[in-house]
């Protein structure tokens, strides 16, 4: 069974071909970061227009790499939501029209489910059940995952997501868009302990997160520094911010594993590529005899491979594909709506 995956939820256009027997055959991706950098953030209308320009060439590229043709495709999976409405509509309309043209069914996929299942693309994938830390620019959640579509929400952010806090704090430090990755890189050169920032909700007694206060603490630090933000200040402030957010993510994740009794943790989403987060989790996992799984770095960002995989796994789990041609997107779409357990 060959599944075509289409991702267009924000500022990456992704196309991939996943075979149920052979695994991932090919994937092609275009990032709009350079285009949006001029505006200091994603411009939804520009994102939508760029998806239109990129999706057909990327499909041709993915087919050529895999040595496949349109007639080989058995179903088309695409991101239905959440995301930018216009961007979602481009991928959705393209996928539905293509499927209708070749006489194949479609599989609407939840973007976060794609991220959650993306570590299964690796050569050493986790097995069910596991705890998942979904940590990205728009979402920070802890889930208990017992199977495809079997999700239980353990905790989530009450305000800013971790990736959002990274980007906003980077902007406060004068870093260009996209700032989160630049802040992480800058933090590697900072000196530990120069500044101490709060660890929001670290002792809240639950598994929820809150990062807006941490962002405000960075703002206060910047104001206290004055008009001149030299390189040393930026590096040390970045280090303090990253250490604070990593400690909260790690401690909450370990607590979720202890409460659930599970020994496997999956980390997915853009922030899952953070080196300090990975190093700290790996160290704690080794000490506590736990196992941590991450997507390959190329699959931490939005991509078509995770959508094709999620579509394939959904079909294998018994979710029926739909007839092509009728569709709607869901810019706001809680992942728990996809849980068969209803938890």
Examine the pLDDT at 135 and tell me if it is beyond 50.
yes
Which range, of 6-15, 133-142, 241-250, averages the lowest pLDDT? 133-142
Q: Are residues 201 and 216 in the same domain?
A: yes
Residue 341: what pLDDT?
57
Q: Do the domain assignments include residue 137?
A: yes
Q: Are residues 25 and 107 in the same domain?
A: yes
Q: Please, are residues 305 and 29 in contact by the beta-carbon 8 Å criterion?
A: no
Residue 314: what pLDDT?
96
Q: Are residues 283 and 308 in the same domain?
A: no
Q: Are residues 165 and 263 in the same domain?
A: yes
For residues 103 and 113, what is the distance between their CA atoms, to the nearest angstrom? 26
**Mean pLDDT over each residue of the chain, to the nearest integer:** 95
Q: Are residues 332 and 253 in the same domain?
A: no
Three-class SS state of 139: coil
Examine the pLDDT at 244 and tell me if it is beyond 50.
yes
Q: Are residues 141 and 91 in the same domain?
A: no
Q: Do the domain assignments include residue 326?
A: yes
List strands edge to edge, sheet with 150-156. 150-156, 140-147, 130-135, 264-268, 291-293
Examine the pLDDT at 339 and tell me if it is beyond 80.
no
Residue 336: what pLDDT?
86
β-pair type (2-7, 12-19): antiparallel
Question: Is the model more confident about 343 or about 309?
Answer: 309
Which residue range(s) make up the domain with 184?
128-294
Which range, of 218-222, 289-293, 323-327, averages the lowest pLDDT? 323-327
Residue 14: what pLDDT?
98
- Terminal Cα-to-Cα distance of the chain (whole angstroms): 31
Q: Do the domain assignments include residue 123?
A: no
Q: Are residues 54 and 84 in the same domain?
A: yes
Q: Are residues 234 and 211 in the same domain?
A: yes
Per-residue pLDDT tens digits for 296-312? 999 999 999 999 999 99
Q: Are residues 283 and 178 in the same domain?
A: yes
For residues 305 and 321, what is the distance between their CA atoms, to the nearest angstrom? 18
Q: How many domains does the chain have?
A: 2
Question: pLDDT band at 342, cuts 50/70/90?
Answer: very low
Examine the pLDDT at 9 and tell me if it is beyond 80.
yes
Three-class SS state of 197: coil
Per-residue pLDDT tens digits for 12-44? 999 999 999 999 999 999 999 999 999 999 999
267 phi/psi in degrees, rounded to 5: -115, 120
Residue 338: what pLDDT?
83
Q: Do the domain assignments include residue 122?
A: no
Q: Are residues 142 and 279 in the same domain?
A: yes
Q: Are residues 91 and 158 in the same domain?
A: no
Q: Do the domain assignments include residue 343?
A: no
% of the chain exceeding 90 in pLDDT: 94
Q: Are residues 275 and 249 in the same domain?
A: yes
Per-residue pLDDT tens digits for 163-218? 999 999 999 999 999 899 999 999 999 999 999 999 999 999 999 999 999 999 99
Per-residue pLDDT tens digits for 42-95? 999 999 999 999 999 999 999 999 999 999 999 999 999 999 999 999 999 999
Region 99-128 average pLDDT: 96
- Those residues whose C-beta lies under 8 Å from the C-beta of residue 193, and which sit 6 or more positions away, are none
| Domain harbouring 135, CATH code | 3.30.420.40
Residue 90: what pLDDT?
98
Q: Do the domain assignments include residue 56?
A: yes
């Amino acid at each position: 069974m060959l599944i075509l995956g289409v991702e267009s939820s924000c500022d990456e256009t992704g196309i991939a071909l996943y075979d149920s027997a052979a695994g991932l055959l090919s994937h092609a991706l275009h990032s709009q970061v350079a285009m949006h950098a001029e505006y200091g953030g994603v411009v939804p209308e520009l994102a939508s227009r760029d998806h239109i320009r990129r999706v057909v060439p990327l499909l041709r590229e993915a087919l050529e790499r895999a040595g496949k043709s349109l007639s080989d495709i058995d179903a088309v999976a695409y991101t239905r939501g959440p995301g930018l409405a216009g961007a979602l509509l481009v991928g959705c309309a393209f996928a539905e029209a293509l499927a209708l043209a070749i006489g194949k069914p479609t599989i609407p996929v939840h973007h976060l489910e794609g991220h959650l299942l993306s570590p299964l693309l690796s050569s050493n994938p986790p097995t069910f059940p596991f705890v998942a830390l979904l940590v990205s620019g728009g979402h920070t959640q802890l889930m208990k995952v017992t199977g495809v579509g079997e999700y239980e929400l353990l905790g989530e952010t009450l305000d800013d997501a971790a990736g959002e806090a990274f980007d906003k704090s980077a902007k406060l430090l004068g870093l260009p868009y996209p700032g989160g990755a630049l802040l992480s890189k800058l933090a590697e050169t900072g000196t530990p302990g120069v500044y101490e920032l709060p660890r929001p909700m670290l002792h809240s007694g639950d598994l929820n997160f809150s990062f807006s206060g941490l962002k405000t603490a960075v703002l206060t630090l910047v104001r206290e520094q004055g008009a001149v933000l030299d390189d040393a200040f930026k590096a040390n402030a970045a280090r303090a911010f990253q250490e604070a957010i990593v400690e909260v993510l790690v401690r909450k994740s370990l607590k979720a594993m202890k409460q659930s009794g599970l020994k496997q943790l999956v980390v997915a989403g853009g922030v899952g590529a953070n080196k300090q987060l990975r190093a700290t989790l790996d160290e704690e996992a080794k000490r506590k005899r736990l196992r941590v799984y991450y997507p390959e770095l190329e699959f931490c960002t939005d991509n078509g491979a995770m959508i094709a995989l999620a579509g394939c796994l959904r079909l294998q789990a018994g979710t029926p594909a739909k007839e092509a041609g009728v569709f709607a997107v869901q810019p706001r779409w809680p992942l728990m709506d996809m849980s068969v357990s209803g938890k």
